[in-house]
Amino acid sequence: MPELPDVTVYVEALQQRIVGQCLEHVILPSPFLLRTAVPPIQTVQGKRVTEVRRIGKRVAIGLETQLWLVFHLMIAGRLHWFARGAVISKRVALARLEFTSGILTLTEAGTKRRASLHLIQGEEQLALQDPGGIDIMQSSLAQFGDRLRSENHTLKRALTDPKLFSGIGNAYSDEILHAARLSPVMLTSRIEDEAVARLYAATQEQMQLWTQRLRQDAAGEFPEKVTAFRADMAVHGRFRLPCPVCRTPVQRIRYADNETNYCARCQTGGRLLADRALSRLLKQDWPKTVEAFDRES
């Protein structure tokens, strides 16, 4: 799922291309994408774009008369930009927005249709699209700590809760926790002040680092390589590959459609966290420490 760095770069690319431009046509081949009926989608045609914002993990395109097109890309949704007159497959695009400056499309990999588009009017209705998480880049250490401890969750769950923090998901939470040298399953009720400060610093550092890297990767072009798995990540998506700090094989916890990646030596004092699939299968044979895992690998 595109997270704060990815969505920020999307927003910046769109600001350069569509602000001040007219939205001439909207074509929605997928009947599942649009989740609102009022105002009707045809009302945006002929309107000029006034701004583009990030709202959590959503991209919001503001138009004249306070209309807003709000895209939530979910896991597999991606945005693409084409020059006017480009030939675009009608079978691939779930949405096609034709501006005077070019064409914006939305695609979604796989067969599950999770991405969504809402058309709403006014700032009050737009605010309802925000889950309420604080912007880590604009928050103080005290605000971060208060929000982190407001509910008793694991650090992983707290960081990825959109009601607590804005724009952090599965991928970058792994990177943040590795940089902070903290276990993903530590409870927020047990975290000490020094660790909160370390986590706060790591969160800001990783968000800035990855936003800048994605800007550099795009090099002024529209970002097309938006992915949750990058070769220069420290732990996310790198199961069994060496940790860049200590060279210990990266571990994982799998659940539903996601997984948490971590370094046992850097983050959990060498203790392996129970993986629902493997630890249940292996039972007594499941290694408890990274040293035991190394011997059996």
Domain segments of the chain as ranges = 4-127, 141-296
Q: What is the pLDDT averaged over residues 207-235? A: 93
Q: 290 pLDDT exceeds 90? A: no
Q: What's the CATH class of domain 4-127?
A: alpha beta
Q: Which residue stretches of the chain are H helix?
A: 4-18, 123-127, 141-148, 155-160, 170-180, 193-218, 264-267, 276-282, 290-296
Question: Model pTM?
Answer: 0.89
Residue 32: per-residue pLDDT:
87
Query: Do 101 and 18 meet the contact criterion of CB atoms below 8 Å apart?
Result: yes
Please tell me the predicted confidence (pLDDT) of residue 113: 81
Residue 285 has pLDDT above 50, yes or no: no
Other CB atoms within 10 A of residue 176 CB: 29
pLDDT at 219 over 80: yes
Q: What is the largest CA-CA distance in the chain?
A: 66
Q: What rounded mean pLDDT belongs to the chain?
A: 90
Q: Which of 52, 42, 41, 63 is nearest to 9 (CA)?
A: 52
Any idea which residue has 């309420």 for tokens? Answer: 132
Query: Is pLDDT above 70 for 281?
Result: no
**Which CATH code is given to the segment(s) 141-296?**
1.10.8.50
Q: What is the pLDDT of residue 248?
A: 95
